[in-house]
Amino acid sequence: MGDRDPPRSGLRPPPPKGGAAGGPAEPAPRRLLGEKGNAVVLLTGVRKAYNVGTAFETEVLHGIDLTVMHGEFCAVVGPSGSGKSTLLNIVGLLDRPTSGTVQVCGEQTTRLDDGALTRLRGHGIGFVFQYHHLITAFSALENVMMPMLGAEGFASDAMRSRAEALIESVGLTRWKDNGAGKLSGGQQQRVAIARALAMGPALLLADEPTGNLDTKSADEVFNLLRRFNSEHGTTVLFVTHNVAMSERCDRTIEVIDGKISGA
């Protein structure tokens, strides 16, 4: 494939806890709700409006009810302007609903303050976007370490070991010390996936992660997300306009005019 290491024995990043016997323990991010039978996302009557109380008030989400169970791999589809990004921002705790309740990773978030939301988002949710948002001056390995550094405040051997394991799991060990700006688009997105998984999140939000990639690289990125979902039970919401990819997901959530179709 040109930019990949020789095949490894499957994508198996170690769980983010416990180092080798006698060695320093790895950072232990909480997997906040990672058991089968639990709802990782539970939205009830969620509405979102902008310019509330003014003549320009506009409601973009209209009473959304949504349940996503542990281990599901769901496509989120719909035309541009339908409310997909707003919905993802609310699920990802980047925005608050105007009304309704939002439960994510077992936590009822409606009354949490900004600090508590930030902690829950940092430990429970991973993000992959259409653009990789890597720090191009840093190496691939350093980019993967960033979430752990943000949580712990200092680097450790355990962090480096986990980051190296994640880099290996996405097939980029050979390029781990390369600056992120010197990687191909497909490689950059694989680094972004490794970074998103650094804290062992229960939920991964992927917003058009294949939108800027060629067909081959897009397929590799999708398969990578699918493997992590299958092997580690990571719940995935995958926003896409690609019909063929949405058909490869467990189920499809269609957003039209601020409502979930069929709900």
> What is the H or E stretch that residue 77 is in?
strand 73-77
Comparison of pLDDT for 192 and 15, the residue scoring more: 192
pLDDT band at 37 (very low <50, low <70, confident <90, very high): low
Is the pTM here over 0.85, yes or no? no
pLDDT at 111: 87
- CA dist 172 and 174 (Å) reads 5
First-to-final CA distance of the chain = 42
Cβ pair 143, 180 in contact under 8 A: yes
- CA dist 148 and 164 (Å) reads 13
Q: Is the pLDDT of residue 154 over 80?
A: no
- CA dist 43 and 97 (Å) reads 10
- CA dist 235 and 132 (Å) reads 20
pLDDT at 148: 86
Q: Is the pLDDT of residue 16 over 90?
A: no
- Read out DSSP for 155-170? --HHHHHHHHHHHHHT
Chain segment 42-74, per-residue pLDDT in tens: 999 999 999 998 999 999 999 999 999 999 999
Chain segment 101-133, per-residue pLDDT in tens: 999 999 999 889 999 999 999 889 999 887 778
Mean pLDDT score, 195-207? 91
Q: Is the pLDDT of residue 13 over 50?
A: no
pLDDT at 23: 38
Cβ pair 219, 244 in contact under 8 A: no
Residues 6+ apart with CB under 8 A from 153: none
Tell me, rounded to whole angstroms, the distance of Cα 240 from its chain centroid: 14
Strand order of the β-sheet with 58-69 is 58-69, 39-50, 99-104, 107-108
Q: Which tokens is 198 given? A: 């650094």
pLDDT at 65: 96
Q: Is the pLDDT of residue 99 over 70?
A: yes
The residue to which tokens 């070991």 are assigned: 161
pLDDT at 157: 84
- CA dist 89 and 151 (Å) reads 21
- CA dist 141 and 161 (Å) reads 10
- For the chain, how many residues are written? 263
Mean pLDDT score, 209-236? 88
Q: Rounded mean pLDDT of the chain?
A: 84
